[in-house]
Amino acid sequence: MVNFFIIFYLSITLAIGFWASKKIKSAGDFALAGKSLSTLLVAVTLFATWFGSTQIMGNPGYFITDGFSSYITLVVSGGFCLIIVGQFYARKLYRMNIVTINDFFRVRYNKTLETVSSLLMVLSYPHWIAAQYVALAYLFNTVMDIPFQYGIILGASIVVFYTYIGGMWAVAYTDMVQSVMILLGLFILLFQVLDETGGIAAIFEKQPSKFYHLTPDGGLDEWSDYIALLLAFTAGAIPVQEIYQRVFSAKDEKTARHGLFLGAFLMVLIPSIPLIIGLGGVQLYPELLENGNSQDIIPTLVKTMTTIPVQILFYGAMISAILSTSSGAMLAPATVIAENLIKPNVKTLSDKKLLLFTRLSVVLVAIVSCYFAFDNSDIVGLVEASLSLILVCLFAPFTLGLFWSKASVKGAWAAIIFGGLTWFCCFIFETRIDATIYGTIVSCFSMVIGSIIYPDKKQNTDVL
């Protein structure tokens, strides 16, 4: 019965994508939903894109082990990032009337930096998308006994289909439906866990005092991991395309900002629920931690302690969360490939062909992401890896280029090259302090020094 309803739900998702495809008349409709999203849709699509496998299957294991220090790095950081973008970035970028943040690199610097930043952006996404495929594979294996490898292929195929045909419209509408499913499933399981544990106070009162520490209790290694995660999920997420794809899809800049703030609230509130569920679940069933795979805690918990109707709803909710994250994450690099890598290099490109290239880019991104999904099954690690590259290469030229009139082309090159090389070398030699920290510091420092020593002959202040 569970299998039947899961298949039925997936069919509905595909049907919504097909219905949304009727709104696609141009490449702009496909990428930005005709710049017509409301505050609620901006917030919901932001939430749905970021609330996925990491929050449901990755974070609970870390919270059980590390307590509230992991809550700061894995949950609060995401909401803080959206607040920063809404307060400082959204207004300036919306007024530029661009499609991708790589368009900003062309306007602020030059076409070469647009191309390089686009390549870096595209290369960063497959790890994140792979994390969603891995989570779907775990779910299909747990619920339907589908082998892990086939689960990856099945999940990728479903997401590709409705993203390919419906673009941002399909993402927006399916995100709305999927978010409702997510909330219903999470709250039902939460209430059931709290009923069996005796309430939320009973769950937390059994934890040791160090569980409530907001910072690590260990030495340099623990602090290095802590700071690296904070940097990745806060600063590293600021230049990512999926945020601005929703910002630029809003009907006006006020709507975009309010959507970001509402999205930030949802990104702190809702991801807290799986943490409580996981913590209560391992108190009721300590054996959930015995297999050494903390990513299976919540799917196994659902199968162990809930009735068939609740299982149907919750598994549908989990699949919803991961599908929405996958579709949004796939659309972002596909848009960058079409707008910033293909469009500038193909003369007399019609809008119809641009739309086709954007759709084909969705398929390309999915294929590459499948490779990483087969290669690495650590969900949180895959997401962190995807953000680290953007952080050490693009954060400094993006932020300083937006807010500092003296930011120069050679300064941007220095940030990308020296930040990226530092990160890569530290990663290869496995330095004790996380490579992301070194790379970020060097990138920002190189941006400032390079811009001062090699200023542009004519300062570009158009975006300031």
pLDDT digits (tens, 9 = 90+) for 113-157: 999 999 988 888 887 788 778 878 877 887 778 888 888 888 888
Cβ contact 48:263 at 8 Å: no
pLDDT for 39: 92
pTM metric for this prediction:
0.81
In a domain, 23, yes or no: yes
In a domain, 395, yes or no: no
What is the residue-averaged pLDDT of the chain? 84
In a domain, 46, yes or no: yes
Q: How many domains does the chain have?
A: 1
Name the residue with higher pLDDT: 387 or 406.
Answer: 406
For range 357-372, the mean pLDDT: 87
Q: Note down the domain range covering 228.
A: 2-378
Q: What CATH number is associated with residue 337?
A: 1.20.1730.10
In a domain, 386, yes or no: no
Cβ contact 384:232 at 8 Å: yes
Q: Residue 385 has which token pair?
A: 């890896």
In a domain, 293, yes or no: yes
In a domain, 11, yes or no: yes
In a domain, 340, yes or no: yes
Q: Of 3, 94, 106, 1, give the one whose Cα is nearest residue 42.
A: 94
pLDDT digits (tens, 9 = 90+) for 198-227: 889 888 988 888 999 999 887 888 899 899
User: With DSSP H G I counted as helix, E B as strand and the rest as coil, what are the percentages for the chain, rounded to 5?
Assistant: 85, 0, 15
pLDDT digits (tens, 9 = 90+) for 168-193: 767 777 777 777 777 887 888 888 88
In a domain, 243, yes or no: yes
**Cβ density class 270-279: b for 16+ within 10 Å, e for less:** bbbbbbbbbb
